[in-house]
Amino acid sequence: MEWCLPPTHESAAVLRRELTNYLERHAVPGADIGGAQIVISELLTNAVEYAGTMIWVGIDWRSTHPVLSVHDLGPDFVVPTGAVAADVPNGRGLKMVDALSIDFTSVSKTAGGKVLRAVLDVERASSPATAQRIDPTVGRLPHLDEADDDGYFGRESFLRALVVDLANHIELEYGPAAAEDAVSRIGASIGRQMEAAYRDRRGITGPLTTEQLVELSLGLKEALSGDFFVVSSDDDKIVFGNRACPFGDSVQKAPSLCRMTSSVFGGIAARNTGHDASIQLEERIAVGDAECRAVMWRDAPPVDVGVTVHRGDTGSPA
């Protein structure tokens, strides 16, 4: 689940409340929600004060503990190490974040700025808590600047809002596992039809070769106005790059759309290798990176690499 918000304390406060409510609904009884709230508050406050640009925030709760990510904190932001220096204004707050989190890391972004990730010390309940209806107030779609001169939204804006808000609604109401399953099913279904059309036009039967798999992956994205290319390919993995998102600049206001890429690529790979396929989204234009990097692992990736796994499917598209 992801949000894009302007660098204001008001927007950060709204998102902080929404994230806290989300944790409370899905955490085990007695979880340290207060500690997690402090972590969220410190990271959002630092983002507002040091970014100077739009801020991207994501929370991934596919594992037992949620991972909070805050992107693009700006070139002037410093993560202190060792003893807290008196002249580092954000030092004490981030020391508190480090103490209250299971893990806290900082990664420099190729396009500038940083992404901070904190594993919150809040355990997910084994079964979803009773859902509470919430009207999201951050990152609403369609955005007002997408309307035409008469104040109407076009088909693309409407359909994009429909997809993103549906995924966010499922995650808010039923939990991250349900949303992940829904988006994966939709992406895999669309990818299957794309592969079926590719096979039909070329009279291909049987598993796709590596060359055909790459051609299909690049071709379907190009048809959607993307600019994907192969960065590298070896026995372990294929690394795809992308210079232009099919959704245009608006993807920076709806980073959840990235989920479709991993589902489409992963579904195609799984069907044609006969085993599980792992897709890693290393970099994303949606969260401020200069280009996208999607890694399609041929076999099991290293254990420390975060991936989305798509189950093997021996059946080819009809």
Radius of gyration of the chain (CA): 20
Q: Express each pLDDT in 162-193 by its tens digit.
A: 877 777 677 677 766 676 677 777 887 888 99
Q: Which of 105-119, 241-255, 278-292 has the lowest mean pLDDT?
A: 241-255
Cis bond upstream, residue 246 (ω within 30): no
Pairwise CA distance, residues 317 & 268, whole Å: 10
Name the least confident of 4-13, 103-112, 201-210.
Answer: 103-112
Would you mind telling me the total number of residues written for the chain in this entry? Answer: 318
**Mean pLDDT in the chain?**
80
Q: Is pTM, for the whole model, over 0.75?
A: no
Q: What is the percent of the chain where pLDDT is above 90?
A: 27
pLDDT (0 to 100) of residue 240: 94
Cα–Cα distances (Å) from 32 to 70, 121, 285, in that order, read 21, 7, 34
Partners of residue 143 on adjacent β-strands: none
Q: Judge contact between 66 and 117, C-beta under 8 A.
A: no
The pair phi, psi for residue 40, each rounded to 5°, is -60, -45
Pairwise CA distance, residues 44 & 46, whole Å: 5
Q: Which residue has the tokens 């294929």?
A: 238
Distance CA 138, CA 179 (A): 19
- What span, in angstroms and rounded, lies between the C-alpha atoms of 142 and 289? 23
d(CA 274, CA 207): 9
Whether residue 27 contacts residue 133, with contact meaning beta carbons closer than 8 Å, is answered with: no
Residue with structure tokens 């951050």?
Answer: 138
Closest alpha carbon to 171 in 122, 131, 124: 131
- How far, in Å, CA of 294 to CA of 230, rounded? 10
Helix, strand, coil percentages for the chain (3-state, nearest 5): 45, 20, 40
Q: Is the pLDDT of residue 119 over 90?
A: yes
> Residue 309 in contact with residue 276, Cβ under 8 Å?
yes
> For the chain, which domains are there?
2-126 (3.30.565.10), 175-310 (3.30.1380.20)
Query: 10-65 pLDDT, tens per residue?
Result: 988 989 998 998 899 888 999 999 999 999 999 998 888 877 777 888 888 878 89
- Report DSSP state, residue 256: G
Only one residue has tokens 């008196």, namely 86
The string of pLDDT tens digits covering residues 219-245 is: 998 888 889 999 998 888 899 999 998
State the sign of the Cα–Cα–Cα–Cα dihedral 157, 168, 268, 213: positive
- What are the backbone dihedrals phi and psi of residue 4, each rounded to the nearest 5 degrees, phi first? -125, 130
